[in-house]
Amino acid sequence: MDHDQNFKNLILDYPRESLEFFASEEAAGVDAGVRVTPVRQEQLKDRLGDSFRELDTPLLVEWPDGRREGLLFVIEEETKPGSFSIHRLARYCLHLAELLKTNRVVPVVIFLKGGKYPTDLTLGGDRHHYLQFHYLISELSAIPAEDYLESNNIVARLNLPNMRYDHERRIEIYAAAVNGLITLEKDERKQRKYIDFIDIYANLSEDELKRYQNSYLREVELMSGLGQALRQEGLEKGIHQGIEQGIEQGMQKGMQKGMQKGMQKGEALVLARLMERRFGPLPEPIQRRIESADAETLLRWSERILVANSMEEVLSDQGEAL
């Protein structure tokens, strides 16, 4: 699982909210009037042939009215605390400070799980300390989810499954995250994008997901509508691909065949994705069965997603019994 990329997307889509949540200690002055710009992630090299490690997301905060000097936030996500290197982070911050000609740099590290990691670095001798470095820590698993169940910060709501809560509240936490996504983000494209984020980190079991569907009907209804939008998007994409294929063939028959094939491919892609979200990774035989099914069968299977208890029930030939 590429957690770094998940969080990089989150921060770039919601930079202000990310700073407010992950770096609240320094982000108090980041109001609606500031300009937040992702910074090109290129470190200075000692030699032209040297490679560099790209960390997650540097954000430059600037005040257009000039009342404050710009502030650079260097945000890194660490999935395994044992892999974190404070020396690497310090070196990267120094490189960026030199590159951008600023000393106003705020390092922030997001730890997905708790563990042992260095919190500060001091270089010196017997008489003096010559370099001291520390960073802001956002250890998600130590943050009480209770404090953010009704937060208006979408980054906080999306990360509820990553926070600290009693195991028996997993469904409630998942529901609060989904509700936050639906109410705080009106862009359907981002809704589709970040329901995946919630699903990945909540990782509900099949039984928990079924209990959620029975207890939170409003959210399930809204997410079903989102699934329909996803299905329509897949159909449109498949139809478009089919039309292009038909045009290239230069024949009306080819266009019709391409459209039908494109619709079928779009249906199959959407069904596979919905089933993975509902039941987990698809075994190869089921994947092949979906890919080879006709459009009518795919539509019938898609209608069973919310009521079926297993992949096998979705693909059952006894549709009337479900």
pLDDT in tens, 21-43: 999 989 887 777 888 988 865 44
Spatial distance between the Cα atoms of 180 and 219, rounded to a whole number of angstroms: 10
Q: Tell me: the pLDDT tens digits for 82-94? A: 999 999 999 999 9
DSSP structural state of residue 145: G
Greatest alpha-carbon span in the chain: 85
Q: Residue 242 in contact with residue 261, Cβ under 8 Å?
A: yes
Pairing state of beta strands 71-78 and 105-111? parallel
Write out pLDDT tens, residues 97-118: 998 899 999 999 999 999 999 9
DSSP 141: G
Tell the residue number behind the tokens 């911050």, with chain if given. 93
Contact (CB, 8 A) for 298 and 271: yes
Q: What is the CA radius of gyration of the chain?
A: 24
Residue 121 confidence (pLDDT) above 70:
yes
Q: What is the per-residue pLDDT across 212-267, written as a single tens digit (0 to 9) for each?
A: 888 776 666 666 555 555 545 555 555 555 556 655 555 555 555 555 666 677 77
- Which amino acid appears at position 48 of this protein? L
Q: How many CB atoms lie within 10 A of CB 266?
A: 24
Distances (CA, A) of 312 to 51, 138, 315: 49, 42, 5
**How confident is the prediction for the chain on average, in pLDDT?**
81
Asked if residues 161 and 201 have their Cβ atoms less than 8 Å apart, the reply is yes
Q: Residues near 86 by Cβ (< 8 Å), separated by ≥ 6?
A: 117, 118, 119, 120, 121, 133, 135
Could you write out the DSSP letters of every residue in 227-274? HHHHHHHHHHHHHHHHHHHHHHHT-HHHHHHHHHHHHHHHHHHHHHHH
How far is 159 from 198, CA to CA, in rounded Å? 7
Residue 16: its H or E element = helix 15-22
Cβ contact 202:246 at 8 Å: no
Cα distances (angstroms) measured from residue 39 to each of 9, 42, 78, 260: 14, 9, 20, 45
Residue spans of the domains in the chain: they are 1-142, 144-204, 230-321
pLDDT score for 281: 81
Residue 2 has pLDDT above 70, yes or no: yes
Phi, psi of 189 (to 5 degrees): -60, -45
